[in-house]
Amino acid sequence: MAKKTKDLSSIPVGKLVPEEAELELTRLVEEIAAADKAYYANDKPQITDAEYDALRRRNLLIEKRFPKLKRPDSPSDKVGAAPSAKFEKAKHAVAMLSLDNAFHDEDVADFVKRVRKFLGLGDDEKVYFTAEPKIDGLSLNLRYEGGVLLVAATRGDGETGENVTANALTISDIPKRLKGAPDILEVRGEAYMSHDEFETLNARLEREAEEEGKAHEPFANPRNAAAGSLRQLDAAITASRPLHFFAYSWGEISEPLAETQWEAVARLKKLGFKINALTARCQSVEDMLAHYRGIEAQRARLGYDIDGVVYKIDRLDYQERLGFVSRAPRWAIAHKFPAEKATTVLEKIDIQVGRTGKLTPVARLKPVTVGGVVVENATLHNADEIERKDIREGDTVVIQRAGDVIPQVVEVIVGERKKGARKYKFPETCPVCGSHAVNEVNPATGKADVDRRCTGGLICNAQAVERLKHFVSRNAFDIEGLGTKQIEAFHEDGTIKEPADIFTMEKRQRAGKIDLYRYDVDDAGARKKDKNGKEKPPTNKKSVDNLFEAINARRAISLPRFINALGIRHVGETNARLFASHYGSFEAFYEAAKAARDDQSEAYQDMLSIDGIGALVAQGVVDFFDETHNRNAVDNLLKEVTPQEAEKASGDSPVAGKTVVFTGTLETMTREEAKARALALGAKVSGSVSGKTDYVVAGPGAGSKLKKAEELGVAVLTEEEWARLANR
């Protein structure tokens, strides 16, 4: 067994070597994706705001230091999570993006400097900013046409949200009609619940559950309560919940509301929207920080949750010029508040096994209230985290949170440790199947991964079940009616052992080999039982027939979804799209993967040539198809479903897909602005000239890059020529 490396998460970014940075980016992608799903899709966050922000910040810092290692599925380019299948989808006319974060005063000063530099403003030119509380609720986009509210949608993944119009119409703070508004106006803001109303609601729901003899899991905090209340299928339930709404921005609009952010928000107030009274207009970094401190001082007395202050450049023409980068606007930033802390006892450490076999330790805490929220669990990440902090069962620990359920263990109070407390021994075998749990070796570096994984593969029930859940999940086959509990029940009794079994259930049902009618396959997925705990006779034939219909509707599926559904290590949505685009068909991808077992083979080198695919991902593909049981599972699946060939890429812009290099002094815009516009048009911006470069845009003072372009015969354009080409 290879010797495992130390916990890379404890190494400062400035001291990481490229191989370590690549490993860290992989870990961060996985952890951030899981956190996004828990927070945005399930309304049940699994890590604290502070811990989440730290993950994103570390990811961004590594990408800045090693730009060539940035992954195609980088969290820096993503917002939120995919919308729930429970609701109709609502496409946003203008993307609902997230915000970059500032954690220190210096970050705010740097933000202002970046804005000035991007816009080419001198130190003596005044620049105003607005500063407003960052509400900890659920983001909403309200679309009005002709003054009438037509669609209300959640943020979703930023591009597409959930249509919750009927529910939003029950919120008194949201006007149903507007007078004097632009013909098309999308108003954006935050739905939230006050602290007092949150406590009253939890008490009422608990009382009602007791009266009906039902189990009740209370909402953990006001944000979860607001999100859960707004995302009800029955609008009458939403109407019974005390929801409020603050407006602070807009999306698509047929005519400007004003010339500045300050005036535009004031216009929203005149139209009938509630805006936050703590919003201020600032003319310096000192003003911004002073307002931040003032809001922080009264945070506990506001009566609703906020987790920071948002700064926005005031002039809207400046906002337009600054534009966006990745998932966030350049003209705004969120200055987050420090995390809250508390002390409690870590009673036990449990091990959970995920679909990739990763063993994740979870701290079970003596319940403690932090900032008004009861917390009971904390993720401990891996064995190195436990060893580094010397965490032992029974220890008194300091935890911190910033609005979420599961906190971070900051430190152990060693002075309060009980005598005889033993160091925690991380299991070397899987707690589910008993297989060896090892630290995998990265083929790119030869070093062992910090995470320990079960080697049982599909013979491990935990992995098999989790892989099947992934297979039917929203971004894979997305089979309606086949959710978590159904998969668990069907796997437990042997009905579904591998993906192909899903598509043979109807045939087996008709042949009398299985009997699904003994299950109640509803949204809850629970088996119907009598008072003695025995299963009741068949009662829900219609639900089973609906399930078969949903399964059959997925027998033809897009190639990216099919590849993603297989659950290949390191291959998620983004990498699946890269493979689909490169190979065009699953047959070609399958044959290439089997031929790439030799890392010197043409097939393996071709796989590595895909922009965005590195050795770690390629090895994940090779390892997956090198397993006989995986190939058999894929072959069985292909007998039941047909992955479609990939669609040909197309672009409206004449520069889409072209590689561009800017050099020299640009006269009509700053270099950063030029790059941003090129990226927005679908072009690729490079910092060096090569044979793959399509255009070099050269301004006065161009030097070595221009010379190399001429040597290689690359097309050289003036700034004016580039503008004509890009806007053609």
| 662 bridge partner residues | 697
Task: Specify if 425 maps to a domain.
Answer: no
Look at residue 536 in the predicted model and tell me its pLDDT. 44
| Residue in this structure with the two tokens 């219909």, named with its chain if needed | 549
Q: Are residues 125 and 268 in the same domain?
A: yes
Q: Give SS3 for 71.
A: coil
What mean pLDDT value characterizes the chain? Answer: 84
| Burial of 435 from C-beta contacts in 10 A (0-12 / 13-18 / 19+) | middle
| Strand ranges, E, within 514-638 | 556-557
Q: Strands 101-102, 184-192: parallel, antiparallel or unpaired by DSSP?
A: unpaired
Task: Specify if 211 maps to a domain.
Answer: yes
Confidence of residue 122 (pLDDT cuts 50, 70, 90): confident
Arithmetic mean of pLDDT, 220-227? 83
Q: CA-CA distances (angstroms) from residue 201 to 110, 150, 242, 243?
A: 42, 29, 8, 11
Question: Could you tell me the residue range of the domain that residue 209 belongs to?
Answer: 89-336
Q: Are residues 182 and 253 in the same domain?
A: yes
Task: Specify if 575 maps to a domain.
Answer: yes
Q: Are residues 634 and 500 in the same domain?
A: no
Q: Are residues 145 and 263 in the same domain?
A: yes
| Strand ranges, E, within 561-610 | none
| 101 bridge partner residues | 334
Q: What is the pTM of this model?
A: 0.50
Task: Specify if 375 maps to a domain.
Answer: no
Question: How many whole angstroms separate alpha carbon 673 and alpha carbon 318?
Answer: 11
Look at residue 224 in the predicted model and tell me its pLDDT. 84
The catalytic residues are: 134
Arithmetic mean of pLDDT, 329-347? 87
682 contacts 657 by C-beta, under 8 angstroms: yes
| 697 bridge partner residues | 662, 717
How far is the first Cα of the chain from the last one, in angstroms, to the nearest whole number? 59
Task: Specify if 412 maps to a domain.
Answer: no
Task: Specify if 132 maps to a domain.
Answer: yes
Q: Are residues 564 and 706 in the same domain?
A: no
Which of 28-37, 206-215, 319-328, 636-645 is least confident? 206-215
Question: How many whole angstroms separate alpha carbon 647 and alpha carbon 32?
Answer: 29
Per residue in 531-582, pLDDT (tens digit) is 455 444 444 677 888 899 999 999 999 999 999 999 888 888 878 887 887 7
Look at residue 87 in the predicted model and tell me its pLDDT. 66
Look at residue 81 in the predicted model and tell me its pLDDT. 53
We report the CATH number of the domain holding residue 632 as 1.10.150.20
We report the CATH number of the domain holding residue 133 as 3.30.470.30
> How many residues are present in the chain?
728
Q: Are residues 628 and 717 in the same domain?
A: no
Task: Specify if 438 maps to a domain.
Answer: no
Among residues 320, 336, 352, which one ends one of the domains?
336
Task: Specify if 48 maps to a domain.
Answer: no
Look at residue 728 in the predicted model and tell me its pLDDT. 58
Question: How many whole angstroms separate alpha carbon 156 and alpha carbon 160?
Answer: 6
**Based on the structure, what is the number of domains in the chain?**
4
DSSP 16-35: --HHHHHHHHHHHHHHHHHH
All residues at 6 or more sequence positions from 288 whose CB lies less than 8 Å from its CB, including other chains: 108, 112, 129, 131, 282, 309, 311, 335
Q: Give SS3 for 575.
A: helix
Q: Are residues 302 and 154 in the same domain?
A: yes
We report the CATH number of the domain holding residue 678 as 3.40.50.10190
Arithmetic mean of pLDDT, 358-374? 79
Per residue in 238-283, pLDDT (tens digit) is 888 899 999 999 999 999 999 999 999 999 999 999 999 999 999 9
The helices-and-strands tally (H runs, E runs) of the chain is: 24, 26
Cα Rg, the chain, nearest whole Å: 27
